[in-house]
């Protein structure tokens, strides 16, 4: 990229030498200055990294990466291939039987740094993104309510290992206001947004007011894609084939067959009529692992080869995603997603609650089940006060929504917006993790302890006098929240 | 006669110590923990051969990590990691230790944390589904409290899943 710009610069300089005689020196000088600024800005790449528990969505904040590279966030060992695949290498995997997964995330938090480092190393390497981290900046997503001690490790990795010029870390939903999910032409951005982020580990309900997360109203449902796949695995293994070791295959079965029922009673009855042929049942042809053939759904009227093994998907198709709406079906003592949303909204200012009911959107791969949105609307309608509208803004690509919002944020006004919030290498060298504690305070959950009126006042301030405000904020913070230094002493 | 039958019923009910809710809760928790696992069967030494032991230690050599094993070419890469990074990579801590060390349990109640963000228990009673076929579970096993829907599922349950010990 750098060479391209400098060539362009050289070429245009020669061109302008010729024209200078006509236009005069003053104009050329302005142009040269302009070119210099262009080169300086092109020097820093911003890497956008949505670090999910199941997949990493990553790219550079330039026009080539409006759609991210998506790689599994796992170190996978294949028995058949006798090989270990780290993150992006997984696409080379040929044998998908009995894969062993080593996942950096556990229950929504990053616990295995060894695996995560290997995957990140591969991602930044020439085999994948091919970037020099010492000349780049980073925007990375972290888990909701990431632990303070973990945040420190994030900081250490970004500056001590990868040596980024600057970096910004925040929860995925906090980036959504920068994307175009809620933006409408000729209208100011929505003030009240409620994001349902249903991912691999958990489902979070995250309300945002004036573009920042209202942490005290964020609620979690302990159901995610991992639990659903495991539950399906268990059902199928008990009823038909033993699939307990086939996470990869069962995840594909889940993604291709499962749906959310809008009428659970009726569908459950329909399944009882005839176990082989009813309106619900589908046949999934299991992959032939001797011939490297992928599993797929059997099309209507398709003849089966003799060796094909078929998995019948009957009520498993909808009882599995049903857990998001009725966690008690597997004995998890939590209310369904709609009720969790209602609980979250009850923590918000009374006069704004109506706005939240009507500005809901769904992100995360788990929301891709057909019927998810309709079912949620139905369930919400029965819980919402009659005077409020319930509406869910449609998200076309829920998996990459957070990435694309982050991308928009990083590219907005030439990266100035990003620059204003990011911690620089120098700041880290001077005060360590305290630098990011101070700088990320406005978006971090630990700021949730501050009286809400103060944080709103900060939001309302114009952009330019934000820095002194931030300092003031951190002072308030240290009074209400035990700072890291005090916790260390304990 | 009628009185006698009633008495017998009463005695029977008393003899059943009542299915211990604690054991049932434990079973539920174990099941939920199983649903969180990344792999059903943990790797044996056989299939990780040549890969060092699964916990990252190899006899006679220093601890080796997967991030060290694969040497990815990266422009501007440093040669040596700092102490903090080595500690994070080499000494994996489990989730409960990490949560304990973060001291989030000691935060004032006004600050929401990972621990308090979880949604409260539901207000409605649980819906029972047959543990065998997935249909409504109208009946429960007398011995282990698992729901089932009809006679045939009950039979399957007795033969396979019934945990007789909750008697």
A231 contact residues in B (CB cutoff 8 A):
35
A155 contact residues in B (CB cutoff 8 A):
none
Q: What is the DSSP string of A57-75?
A: EEEESSGGGSS-EEEESSE
Q: Give the model confidence (pLDDT) of A402-430 as tens digits.
A: 999 999 999 988 888 899 999 999 999 99
Tell me what pLDDT residue A150 has: 94
- Cα–Cα distances in Å, from A416 out to A67, A411, A412, A444, B160? 22, 8, 7, 20, 63
Contacts of A178 (CB under 8 A, 6+ apart): A405, A406, A408, A409, A412
Instruction: Read off the pTM.
Output: 0.82
Sheet (strand A83-86) strand order:
A83-86, A75-78, A100-102
Tell me what pLDDT residue B109 has: 87
Mean pLDDT of chain B: 78
pLDDT value at A187 more than 70: yes
The shortest C-alpha distance from A411 to chain B (Å) reads 24
Contacts of A162 (CB under 8 A, 6+ apart): A120, A124, A133, A134, A138
The closest alpha carbon to A337, from A312, A369, A313, belongs to A369
Average pLDDT over residues A375-386: 95
Burial readout A412-451 (b: 16 or more C-beta within 10 A, e: otherwise) = eeebebbbebbbbbebbeeebbbbbbbbbbbbbbbbbbbe
Q: Give the model confidence (pLDDT) of A35-66 as tens digits.
A: 444 444 444 789 999 999 999 999 998 878 88
pLDDT value at B9 more than 90: no
Tell me what pLDDT residue B78 has: 66
CB atoms within 10 A of CB B5: 9
On the 0-12 / 13-18 / 19+ scale of CB atoms within 10 A, B32 is: middle
Average pLDDT over residues B30-35: 91
Burial readout A45-70 (b: 16 or more C-beta within 10 A, e: otherwise) = bbbbbbbbbbbbbbbbbeeebeebbb
Q: Indicate the SS3 state at residue A219.
A: strand
Specify whether the CB–CB gap between A155 and A428 falls below 8 A.
Answer: yes
Q: Give the model confidence (pLDDT) of A255-306 as tens digits.
A: 999 999 999 999 999 988 877 778 888 989 988 877 767 888 888 777 787 7
The closest alpha carbon to A144, from B97, B118, B94, belongs to B118
End-to-end CA distance of chain B: 29
Query: Considering only residues 227 to 286 of chain A, which have any Cβ-Cβ distance to chain B shorter than 8 Å?
Result: 227, 230-231, 233-235, 238-239, 244-245, 247, 268, 271-272
CB-CB under 8 Å, B89 with A156:
no
Is residue A343 very low, low, confident or very high in pLDDT (cuts 50, 70, 90)?
Answer: very high
Is residue B63 very low, low, confident or very high in pLDDT (cuts 50, 70, 90)?
Answer: low
């Amino acid at each position: 990229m750098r060479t391209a710009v400098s060539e362009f610069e050289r070429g245009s300089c020669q061109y302008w030498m010729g024209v200078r005689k006509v236009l005069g020196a003053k104009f050329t000088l302005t142009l040269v200055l302009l070119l210099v600024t262009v080169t300086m800005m092109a020097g820093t790449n911003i890497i956008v990294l949505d670090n999910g528990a199941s997949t990493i969505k990553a790219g550079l904040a330039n026009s080539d990466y409006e759609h991210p590279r998506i790689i599994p966030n796992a170190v996978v060992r294949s028995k058949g291939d006798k090989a270990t695949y780290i993150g992006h290498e997984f696409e080379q995997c040929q044998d998908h039987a009995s894969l062993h997964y080593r996942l950096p995330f556990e229950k929504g938090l990053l616990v295995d740094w060894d695996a995560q480092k290997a995957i990140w190393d591969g991602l930044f390497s020439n085999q994948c993104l091919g970037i020099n981290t010492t000349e780049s900046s980073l925007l990375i997503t972290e888990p909701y309510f990431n632990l303070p001690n973990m945040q420190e490790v994030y900081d250490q990795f970004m500056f001590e290992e990868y040596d980024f010029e600057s970096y910004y870390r925040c929860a995925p939903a906090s980036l959504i206001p920068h994307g175009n999910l809620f933006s409408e032409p000729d209208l100011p951005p929505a003030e009240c947004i409620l994001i349902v982020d249903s991912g691999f580990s958990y489902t979070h309900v995250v309300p945002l007011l004036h573009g920042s997360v209202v942490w005290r109203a964020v609620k979690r449902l302990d159901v995610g894609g991992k639990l659903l796949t495991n539950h399906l695995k268990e059902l199928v293994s008990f009823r038909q084939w033993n699939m307990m070791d086939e996470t990869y295959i069962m995840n594909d079965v889940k993604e291709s067959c499962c749906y959310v029922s809008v009428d659970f009673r009726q569908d459950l009855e329909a399944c009882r009529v005839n176990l082989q042929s009813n309106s619900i049942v589908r046949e999934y042809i299991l992959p032939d692992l001797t011939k490297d053939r992928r599993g797929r759904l059997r099309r209507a009227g398709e003849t089966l080869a003799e060796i094909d093994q078929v998995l019948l998907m009957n009520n498993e198709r909808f009882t599995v995603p049903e857990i998001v709406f009725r966690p008690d079906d597997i004995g998890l003592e939590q209310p369904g997603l709609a009720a969790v949303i209602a609980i979250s909204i009850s923590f918000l200012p009374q006069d704004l609650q109506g706005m939240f009911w009507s500005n809901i959107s769904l992100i995360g791969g788990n929301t891709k089940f057909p019927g998810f949105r309709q079912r949620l609307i139905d369930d919400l309608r029965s819980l919402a006060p009659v005077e409020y509208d319930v509406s869910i803004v449609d998200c076309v690509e829920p998996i990459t929504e957070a990435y694309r919002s982050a991308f928009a944020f990083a590219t907005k006004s030439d990266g100035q917006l990003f620059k204003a919030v990011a911690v620089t290498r120098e700041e880290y060298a001077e005060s360590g993790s305290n630098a990011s504690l101070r700088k990320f305070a406005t978006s971090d959950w630990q700021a949730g302890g501050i009286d809400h009126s103060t944080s709103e006042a900060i939001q309302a301030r114009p952009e330019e006098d934000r820095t002194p405000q931030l300092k003031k904020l951190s002072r308030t913070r240290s009074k209400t929240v035990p700072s890291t230094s005090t916790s260390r002493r304990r | 006669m009628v009185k006698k039958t009633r008495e017998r019923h009463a005695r029977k009910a008393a003899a059943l110590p009542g299915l211990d809710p604690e054991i049932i809760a434990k079973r539920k928790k174990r099941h939920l923990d199983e649903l969180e696992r990344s792999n059903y069967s943990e790797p044996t030494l056989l299939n990780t051969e040549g890969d060092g032991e699964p916990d990252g230690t190899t006899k006679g050599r220093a601890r080796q990590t997967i991030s060290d094993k694969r040497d990815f070419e990266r422009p501007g890469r440093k040669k040596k990691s700092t102490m903090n990074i080595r500690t994070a990579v080499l000494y994996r801590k489990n989730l409960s230790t990490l949560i304990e060390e973060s001291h989030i349990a000691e935060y004032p109640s006004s600050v929401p944390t990972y621990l308090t963000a979880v949604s409260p228990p539901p207000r409605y009673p649980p819906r029972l589904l047959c543990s065998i076929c997935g249909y409504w579970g109208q009946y429960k096993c007398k011995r282990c409290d698992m729901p089932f829907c009809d006679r045939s599922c009950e039979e399957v349950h007795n033969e396979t899943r019934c945990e007789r010990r909750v008697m």
